[in-house]
Amino acid sequence: MERPKEAFKLEAKVHVGKLLKHLKGAGISEGVIFHNGGVILNRYDTDVELPFRQESNFFYLTGVEEAGFNLLIDVASSKSILVAPNIDREDAMWRGLPDPLDILRKQYDVDEVIYFVEFFKKLDELNPKTLFVFNNTDCKVLGDKYHSILDKKTAVWPLWDARLIKTKQEIDLMREANRISSNAHIQLMKDARPGMNEGELEALFAYETSRRGCKHQAYGCICGSGTSSSILHYTRNDKWTNKEDPEQLVLVDAGAEHHCYASDITRTWPIGGKYVGEAKIIYEIVYEMQEAVMQAMKPGVPWENMHRLANEIGCKGLVKAGLLHGEIEELVNSHVPAVFFPHGLGHLIGLDVHDVGGYPEGTERIQAPGIRYLRFRRNLEVGMVVTVEPGIYFGQVLVEDALDDDSIKKFINLEALERFRKIGGVRIEDCVVITENGIENLTKIPRKLSEIEALMDHSSKN
């Protein structure tokens, strides 16, 4: 792990300013925003502490990664007041003394820092007519006095709109999360050998990211080998790769957090390092799906159009491979490609791997196979960060359901299907930021089949 050149400090007041701008755009110019950070929780009915990770909205507005803090923001003055937990000298025996107020004031981008013992005095001084909170704000700390002025709805969408478009610092943090996670994926591909357990691959990824400063994974790691690679959120990660089958595919969907900002990356590769047969055909189809989308992405493009583009490219590829037959338009209109590309193309990403604000108020999901799982429907804007993650899978349930449906079955080459089913699935996923002219890919891992094979070439290492 490299020692940072200077202490990290989130530009929290910039984020507060964005929130207040959206709030004032909704006609709100006074009142107080109250929110609390996360607290340390214990494992079921024990005193064993669970790993702590800060609540995302609180981190966004404060930059605090420690437990037990609260926040007040005066809307009229834009003043942010961080409320630190009281010093508990008995607790300090176990955890050590916390930083004093003067250190906290320098460490975090806020206007004032007080201890919780002063919280109600400060709130009385602000004397708000309305106290705005968010969806998961724990209001019990307020007691009964302020419940009559609570507003639990008005500030939610302004906060989500603020988080939607990333600042330069946020993009830099996500770039670093992607750099570290990309290097871990690359190391995994270099170290992979037939006969390894999926759990060992997961552990190696966690090790590579942790030793470079990423304390948390952004989500549960997916390491699916063989037919398990067709299970979209497979996290058992307990099977052994086939020692006798170096052509077996392994799908690794894993990404670490850097100061709470997520990465989300997927690569699918043969455990022995060489794509052959049906696996090679499907990989190239998925690569073409992702490449076509990345070339078409730019500000103003509706995200559902990008999903439809990937869906059509995938359909054409499956027809060319002999798995499907029929006219492309009829296949798409009959939702046949959704049997094999059953999820949305990608999602917003930021402080949460599936970030907030995907469906603006009044925007409904498109109720059709595959695209109904699209996690956001917006026109792309400069500063959005999204994942691009097409895939082709031969999932047991979806394939069996398709074969039971004559309106779908008639388009499928059953002999070819039996040959392809054994590979499981392929997904390629990168994190990209929308720029003025297109995108910047934050993920730094080879995507081309030939590049991955070169990376995994073990001949010179044995």
pLDDT tens digit sequence for 149-200:
999 999 999 999 999 999 999 999 999 999 999 999 999 999 999 999 999 9
Catalytic-residue membership of 233: yes
Catalytic-residue membership of 284: no
- Distant-in-sequence, close-in-space partners of 322: CB < 8 Å, separation ≥ 6: 413, 416
Annotated catalytic residue, options 74, 109, 170, 389: 389
For 267, the enclosing helix (H) or strand (E) is strand 265-270
Q: Which pLDDT score, from 0 to 100, does residue 444 have?
A: 98
The pLDDT of residue 1 is above 80: no
Catalytic-residue membership of 264: yes
* Residue range 296-307, pLDDT digits in tens: 999 999 999 999
CA dist 349 and 198 (Å) reads 26
Residue of 163, 35, 6 whose CA lies nearest to 110: 35
Catalytic-residue membership of 359: no
350 secondary structure, DSSP code:
S
Catalytic-residue membership of 207: no
**How many CA within 13 A on the CB side of residue 168?**
0
Catalytic-residue membership of 440: no
121-140 per-residue burial string, b: 16 or more CB within 10 A, e: under 16: ebbeebebebbbbbeebeee
How many angstroms separate the Cα of 132 from the Cα of each of 156, 165, 319?
A: 9, 22, 54
Q: Which pLDDT score, from 0 to 100, does residue 460 have?
A: 52
The pLDDT of residue 461 is above 60: no
Annotated catalytic residue, options 343, 375, 377, 447: 343
Token readout for 410 is 């008639």
Annotated catalytic residue, options 253, 257, 352, 355: 253
The pLDDT of residue 458 is above 90: no
Annotated catalytic residue, options 208, 304, 429, 430: 429
Annotated catalytic residue, options 2, 45, 47, 364: 47
The pLDDT of residue 212 is above 60: yes
Q: Which pLDDT score, from 0 to 100, does residue 4 have?
A: 72
What percent of the chain is modeled with pLDDT above 90?
94
Catalytic-residue membership of 381: no
Average pLDDT over residues 410-435: 98
Average pLDDT over residues 139-147: 91
- Distant-in-sequence, close-in-space partners of 141: CB < 8 Å, separation ≥ 6: 36, 70
**Which strands make up the sheet holding 430-434, listed edge to edge?**
385-388, 430-434, 439-441
Average pLDDT over residues 321-341: 98
Q: Which pLDDT score, from 0 to 100, does residue 166 have?
A: 98
Residue of 87, 89, 121 whose CA lies nearest to 101: 87
Annotated catalytic residue, options 354, 365, 378, 419: 354
Annotated catalytic residue, options 95, 147, 211, 233: 233
* Residue range 380-392, pLDDT digits in tens: 999 999 999 999 9
Inter-axis angle of helices 414-421 and 396-403, nearest 10: 170
82-103 per-residue burial string, b: 16 or more CB within 10 A, e: under 16: bbbbeeeeeeeeeeeebeeeee
Annotated catalytic residue, options 258, 347, 375, 377: 347
Catalytic-residue membership of 429: yes
- Residue 132 backbone dihedrals phi, psi, to 5 degrees: -85, 135
pTM: 0.96
* Residue range 74-85, pLDDT digits in tens: 999 999 999 999
Catalytic-residue membership of 347: yes
How many angstroms separate the Cα of 191 from the Cα of each of 194, 202, 205?
A: 10, 12, 11
* Residue range 371-418, pLDDT digits in tens: 999 999 999 999 999 999 999 999 999 999 999 999 999 999 999 999
Q: Which amino acid is at 448?
A: K
The pLDDT of residue 27 is above 90: yes
* Residue range 123-134, pLDDT digits in tens: 999 999 999 999
Catalytic-residue membership of 343: yes
If you average pLDDT over every residue of the chain, what do you get? Answer: 96
Annotated catalytic residue, options 264, 352, 355, 430: 264
Annotated catalytic residue, options 60, 108, 275, 393: 393
Catalytic-residue membership of 364: no
CA dist 227 and 223 (Å) reads 11
Neighbours of 76 (CB within 10 A): 14
In this structure, the chain runs to a length of 462
The pLDDT of residue 5 is above 90: no
- pLDDT band for 3, please (50, 70, 90 cuts): confident
* Radius of gyration in angstroms for the set of CA atoms belonging to the chain, rounded to a whole number: 25
Q: Which pLDDT score, from 0 to 100, does residue 459 have?
A: 60
What percent of the chain is modeled with pLDDT above 70?
98
> Taking the mean position of all CA atoms in its chain, how far away is CA 171?
14
Token readout for 114 is 């007080």
CA dist 39 and 52 (Å) reads 8
Q: Which pLDDT score, from 0 to 100, does residue 143 have?
A: 87
Residue of 9, 5, 430 whose CA lies nearest to 255: 430
- pLDDT band for 462, please (50, 70, 90 cuts): very low
